[in-house]
Structure 1
Amino acid sequence: MNYFSSNFKLGILGGGQLGKMILNDTRKFDIYTCVLDNSEEAPCKLASNEFYLGDLMDFDAVYNFGKQVDVLTFEIENVNVDALEALEKEGVKVYPSSKTLRTIQNKATQKIFYTDNNLPTAPFSRFAYTSKIKDAINHGKLTLPFVWKSAQFGYDGTGVKIVKSVSDLEHLPNVECIAENLVPFKNELAVIVVRTPSGDTKTYPVVEMEFHPEANQVEYVICPARIDDVVAKKAQNIALKASKAFNHVGLLAVEMFQTENDDILINEVAPRPHNSGHQTIEASYTSQFEQHLRAILDLPLGRTDSKVGGVMVNLVGAEGYTGNVIYKNIDKIMNMDGVTPHIYGKKQTRPFRKMGHVTIVNEDLNEARKVAEAVKKAIKVISE
């Protein structure tokens, strides 16, 4: 099939920043795109060829949208999987598949998948409701502390809490959840695996992630990770094993813990372009967004190695500010060598909302990390 300057239509479910960055590459290749999102102010609205307003969790909205395109992909997991499954049965190519997404969409199901496929992960218990956890603690079946995770609809630090005492459970939603052993780790790592329908597979270098202690959001992504080559190889092999088990098409971002004993445990995965790959736009031969397109269209995969060391800084809304966004000191950071800001186009800011990111490239990774800190201190995402 001819995808370029043709009648081919690519559908994207979700119109957020990940979709916007995919559209940078569909524009480069002149691939016709249709986007469905539930917000009139979605970042994808201006860059897509056709934009549709609709609820991503509504069967009819997703099904009717999908009937208009040749290949359907998504930039967010919270979409109606039943509609995707129906579309597949009618011949629409959905990548990653509804089967892959259905497993990943629920964190409890995802964890059971790791256990069933001998993929290393932290021990956990599954609960139909958060209220059942107290009984498990009282009967000695669960010990404190542990990590509570909502089985569904968690994102960007929401739906996750470290529970140190029974009182920490009081304000958590009473939903299906898991209680996961608190893992002593020295690094949080991620590997992006890319795979085509034909089975061609590549991995990007292992990255290291530094998290904001309060928001539980990634603050810095450092590529390559500052770890031993043996540990890096182990992480890539486990990511490849996970990719094979899921039999996914497109990108699979595998987030992992490096324990104090240098074991690698899978934390969770995302079947789409991912925050841990944003630095690939400037630092890699092929960005994760172009690579996702190549994979789902079954085109030859591009090089995944880095041209230069890269660090990504997330730009999130400052605490205490809600309203029309202002990026303070953006001119100051643009005066720093190797710095490229990406503004997502969200008009309204609120505390910890992802509003953009900044990539810093440098032959010396330690220098890039220093510049990243300077960027973080300088730029402020506030409101009028």
Structure 2
Amino acid sequence: MEYFSSDFILGILGGGQLGKMLLYETRKWDIGTKVMDASDEAPCKIACNEFVKGSLLDFKAVYDFGKNVDVLTIEIENVNLDALEKLEEEGKKVYPPTKALRIIQNKAKQKLFYVDNGIPTAEFHRFAYKSEIADSINNGGLEFPFIWKAAQFGYDGQGVKVVRKLEDLEGLPSGECIAEEMVNFKNELAVIVARNVSGEVKTYPVVEMEFHPEANQVEYVICPARIDDKVALKAREIALKVSEKIQHVGLLAVEMFQTHDDKILVNEVAPRPHNSGHYSIEASYTNQFEQHLRAILDLPLGNTDNKVAGIMVNLVGAEGHTGKVVYENIGEIMRMEGVTPHIYGKKQTRPFRKMGHVTIVNKNIAEARTIAQQVKEKIKVISN
């Protein structure tokens, strides 16, 4: 199939910042695009060839959208899988495949998948209803503290909570969930695996992630991770095993814990471009968004090596600010060497909402981390 400057149309379910950055690459190659999102203010709207307003969880909306594109992909995994499955049955190319998405979309199924396939992960309990957790605690089956996770629709720190006492469960959704052992870890790591339709596979370098303690969102992504080479090799091998077993097409971001005795435990995965790969836009030979396109269009995969060390700083809405967004001191950070801001185009800010990111590149990873800290302290995402 001819993709470039042709009648080919790539369909993208989801119009957020990941889709917007994917569209940078489709525009670079003159590939036609059609995007669906529920919001009239979706960041993708300004950059695609055609925008359709519709719910990603509505069967008819997703099915009708998918019928009118040549290849269908996602920028968020919370989509109607029954519609995607019907499209596949009718011969539509859907990447990642619905079979992989059914495993990933539900965190309980995802954890059971790791156990069934010998992939190391934290101990967990699965519950059909939140009310069953108290019974398990009272009967000695579960002990505090643990991590509560909603089985479905968690995103960007939502649907996850540390539970230290029964009262911490109050106000949480009542449906299917898991209670996961708290891991005493040394580092949180991630590896992005790219797999194209023909089965060619490549991994990006291991990255190190530093999280905000309250919002459970990534604050910094550091590449390469400041870990021993043997640990990095083990992390990449485990990520490749997950990729092989799940048989995704596109990108698979595998988030992991490195324990104090250097074991690697898989936390969860995302079947799409990912926050942990944003550094690649400036720091890699092939950024993650171009790589996703290469994979789903069955083109040769690009070089995943870094040209230079890279760090990503997330820009999230400041606490106490809701309303029309203002980026305070953005001009000052642009005076710093190797600093590039990316603004997602969301007009309204609220506490901890992802509004953009900043990449810092430098030959010296320690110097890059110092500059990243200065960026974090300088720029503020507030409302006017």
- The TM-score normalised by the length of structure 2 is 1.00
Q: Residue 169 of structure 1: CA displacement? A: 1.3
Give a deviation string over 1:22-60, Cα, whole Å, max 9, x none. 000000000000000000000000100000000000000
Residue 9 of structure 1 is matched in structure 2 by: 9
Tell me how far apart the structure 1 counterparts of residues 253 and 7 of structure 2 sit (CA, whole Å). Answer: 31
Deviation, structure 1 residue 171: 2.4
The alpha carbon displacement at 1:192 in A equals 0.1
The residue number in structure 1 matching 2:19 is 19
1:303 maps to which residue?
303
Partner of 1:270: 270
1:197: how far off? Answer: 1.1
1:151-182 deviations in Å (ceiling 9; x for gaps): 01111111111111112112222121000011
Structure 1's consecutive aligned runs of 4 or more residues displaced over 2 angstroms after TM superposition are: none
Matched residue, 1:319:
319
User: Which residue in 2 is equivalent to 1:32?
Assistant: 32
Alpha-carbon distance between aligned partners in 2 of 1:328 and 1:84, rounded to the nearest angstrom: 42
CA distance in 2, matches of 1:92, 1:345: 31
- Note the 1:187-266 alignment, pairs <5 A: 187-266=187-266
Deviations 1:98-123 (A, max 9, x none): 11111100000000000011100001
Match status 1:84 vs 2:46: no
Instruction: Specify the SS of the correspondent of 2:22.
Output: helix
- Counterpart code for 2:30: D
Stretches of structure 1 lacking an aligned partner (at least 5 in a row): none
C-alpha distance in 1, partners of 2:140/2:347? 49
User: How far apart are the structure 2 equivalents of 1:183 and 1:203?
Assistant: 25
Q: Distance in 2 between matches of 1:300 and 1:170?
A: 50
SS in 2 for 1:44: helix
What is the Cα deviation at residue 325 of structure 1? 0.4
CA distance in 2, matches of 1:109, 1:298: 28
Residue 127 (structure 1) aligned with residue 127 (structure 2): yes
1:331 maps to a residue whose letter is G
**SS of residue matched to 1:382:** strand
AA aligned to 1:85 is E
Q: Aligned residue pairs: how many?
A: 384
Q: Tell me, in whole angstroms, the C-alpha distance in 1 between the residues paired with 2:211 and 2:6.
A: 43
Q: 2 CA distance for matches of 1:167 and 1:67? A: 48
- 1:53-95 CA-to-partner distances (Å, cap 9, x unmatched) read 0000000000000000010000001100000000001111000
Which amino acid in the other structure matches residue 230 of structure 2?
V
Q: Distance in 1 between matches of 2:379 and 2:175?
A: 37
Q: Which structure 2 residue ranges, 5 or more long, are not aligned?
A: none
Q: Secondary structure at the match of 1:230?
A: helix
State the partner residue of 2:165.
Answer: 165
Q: What is the distance in 2 between the residues matched to 1:171 and 1:11?
A: 37
After TM superposition, list the pairs within 5 Å mapping 1:329-340 onto structure 2. Answer: 329-340=329-340
Shift of 1:130: 0.9
TM-score after normalising by structure 1: 1.00
Q: In structure 2, the residue corresponding to 1:266 is in which secondary structure?
A: strand
State the Cα RMSD in Å: 0.5
Q: What letter matches 1:317 in structure 2?
A: G
Counterpart residue number, 2:140: 140
Q: Matches of 2:305 and 2:227 in 1, distance apart?
A: 17
The letter of the residue matching 2:181 is N
* Cα distance in structure 2, aligned partners of 1:43 and 1:172: 30
Corresponding position of 1:98: 98
Q: Could you tell me which residue of structure 2 aligns to residue 281 of structure 1?
A: 281
Report the secondary structure of 2:45's partner residue: coil
Matched, 1:370 2:374: no
Task: Supply the distance in 1 between the matched residues of 2:248 and 2:169 (Cα, whole angstroms).
Answer: 35
Deviation, structure 1 residue 20: 0.2
C-alpha distance in structure 2 between counterparts of 1:166 and 1:88, whole Å: 44
